[in-house]
């Protein structure tokens, strides 16, 4: 009985090894390793449209603090006055006058995160109690070279002629 069990297991082992070796040899013959990817032409046009739309955008999604929103005959003048007052006190923070029919709005700052905008809103809350954080398309931050050109500062290792 033990001899029969041993012979059966030995025969099964030999059969399994031979099938495994045969399967490995034939798999390379059956499966072709080269393949071609075919894609729909409409994908290319959709990708080009996406690129074109993103190039037209003059910024990215971010946050600003809205200080004023109003409509009516005096709203534009009030918004301009508030913006001028803000820019006189906080010259380092950009202020924008936005018209979204029928409202004139004054929004300040260009923040990537909502937390940065909340910090400014809290800092301004005593002077502008109605201010709140809103999503907006914010401008790209200026590069160091653009800031230097605006201020006409000489960068280290760069010569800017003065004549």
pLDDT of residue 163: 46
C-beta neighbour count of 149 within 10 angstroms: 13
> Given this model, what pLDDT does residue 2 score?
76
Cα–Cα distance for residue pair 76/136, rounded to 1 Å: 20
pLDDT at residue number 115 = 96
Per residue of the chain (163 residues), what is the pLDDT tens digit? 776 777 777 766 676 666 555 545 555 555 566 777 788 889 889 999 988 887 777 788 999 999 999 998 899 999 999 999 999 999 999 999 999 999 999 999 999 999 999 999 999 999 999 999 999 989 887 777 877 777 765 555 555 555 4
DSSP per residue, 81-134: HHHHHHHHH-TTS-EEEEEETTEEEEEEEEESSHHHHHHHHHHHTTT-TT-EEE
| CB contact at 8 A, 70 and 79 | yes
For residues 43 and 39, give the distance between their C-alpha atoms in angstroms, rounded to a whole number: 7
Round to whole Å and give the CA distance between 139 and 56. 13
Architecture of domain 63-144: 2-Layer Sandwich (3.30)
Q: Rounded to an integer, what distance in angstroms lies between the CA atom of residue 81 and that of residue 22? A: 87
Sorted by sequence, the CB contacts under 8 Å of residue 152 that are 6+ apart come out as 160
Q: Are 39 and 104 in contact (CB under 8 A)?
A: no
**pLDDT in the model for residue 112:** 93
pTM for this prediction: 0.59
Distance between first and last Cα of the chain: 108
Q: Domain segments of the chain: what residues?
A: 63-144
Instruction: State the Cα–Cα distance between residues 48 and 54, nearest whole angstrom.
Output: 10
Cβ neighbours around 66 below 10 Å, total: 21
């Amino acid at each position: 009985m033990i001899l029969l069990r041993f012979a059966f297991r030995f025969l099964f082992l030999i059969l399994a090894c031979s099938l495994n070796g045969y399967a490995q040899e034939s798999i390379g013959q059956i499966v072709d390793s080269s393949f071609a990817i075919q894609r729909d032409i409409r994908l290319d046009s959709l990708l080009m449209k996406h690129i074109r739309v993103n190039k037209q955008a003059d910024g990215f999604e971010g946050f600003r603090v809205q200080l004023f929103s109003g409509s009516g005959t005096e709203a534009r003048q009030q918004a301009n006055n508030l913006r001028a007052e803000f820019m006189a006190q906080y010259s380092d923070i950009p202020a924008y006058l936005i018209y979204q029919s029928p409202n004139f709005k004054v929004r300040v700052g260009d923040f990537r995160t909502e937390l940065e905008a909340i910090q400014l809103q809290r800092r301004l809350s005593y002077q502008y109690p109605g201010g709140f954080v809103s999503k907006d398309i914010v401008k790209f931050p200026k590069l160091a070279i653009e800031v230097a050109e605006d201020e006409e500062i000489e960068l280290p290792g760069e010569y800017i002629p003065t004549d």
